[in-house]
Amino acid sequence: MRVLVTGGSGRLGRSVLAALAEAGHEPVCVDLVRPPAGQVPYESFAVDLLDTGECYSVVGRYRPDAIVHLAAVPVPFLRTDVATFRTNTQMVFNVCQAATDLGVGTVLAASSPTVIGYGNPAGWQADYLPLDEAHPTRPWHAYGLSKVVAEETIQAFARRWPDRIACHAFRPCFVVSPEEWDGAPTQTGDTILDRLDRPELAAVSLFNYLDARDAGDFVAALLGRAKDIPPGEVFFVGAPDAMAREPLAELLVEHAGVPAAQAAGLTGSSPAFDSAKAERLLGWRAKRSWRTELR
């Protein structure tokens, strides 16, 4: 199947392209700026998805069977709140509308665990731990709010056109690309060893993480089952353990202000985010851990 991957030159996009190609698909990298020659060994096309006409044009050009939408302002506070919200919400709407109108069978869109609202300087408490997809969303910054809107957009199209298009969203945890296990800076500028040695760095994301290759495998699995599962599903996608040397039952209390009684339910190396739904509906489970990949 031909699959457009928006944001395909990014740390997550590169692994998604590779996983889809390995699964036998024909991926096409769609990004505002084309990747350097040889960096992404797939056909690529430069397009501004904020421009509705350009979005329709690229979908019409390739007539894909599916779109994996990763393009976005990738982290909170990278750009102004206005630019972050406008970019992330308008692009996912344009992609869904163009896909529906032009006969694309599947749209998968990346959301974010930040929709849960952790890290709020005004205070945040989980209703329960570990966090799953049923937990209420409580965004407090423009990035998290934009991702809630993106999920609602996906679900709106899924509700309106259930027989025409399969739409789903997924929340990848803190993505770690292969070179970052070797010491390259992560998306926040620190290294994986920094996050392990200084728990306060990883506490801002509740110690979540995900190897980019596992993320690619998840997308391939969701693409294969997109039309077999209920419309508009949302998935947490994370590693099977926490990015921490000590149990979260201790670290969340010390560094994230989580009440001890609530954190006590996380035993051993268990993560704060539950990806059991992905395993139940898709048969996917992350294979890689910092314990096996860190060099």
Nearest-CA neighbor of 231 among 79, 105, 110, 129? 105
- Structure confidence by residue, pLDDT tens digits, 158-179: 999 999 999 999 999 999 999 9
Q: What pLDDT was estimated at residue 201?
A: 96
Q: What pLDDT was estimated at residue 21?
A: 96
pLDDT surpasses 70 at 39: no
CA distance 102 to 107: 12
Q: What is the mean pLDDT of residues 10-39?
A: 89
Instruction: Quote the crossing angle between the two packed helices 81-101 and 142-160, to the nearest 10°.
Output: 10
pLDDT surpasses 90 at 291: yes
pLDDT surpasses 90 at 34: no
Q: What pLDDT was estimated at residue 257?
A: 87
Q: What pLDDT was estimated at residue 115?
A: 98
Beta carbons of 204 and 272 less than 8 angstroms apart: no
pLDDT surpasses 90 at 247: yes
pLDDT surpasses 80 at 38: no
CATH 3.40.50.720 fits 2-177+208-239+272-293, yes or no: yes
Could you check whether the bond before residue 130 is cis, i.e. omega within 30 degrees of 0? yes
Beta carbons of 228 and 282 less than 8 angstroms apart: no
pLDDT surpasses 80 at 44: yes
Instruction: Quote the crossing angle between the two packed helices 11-22 and 212-225, to the nearest 10°.
Output: 50
**Measured CA angle at 125 (ends 84, 269), to 5 deg:** 95
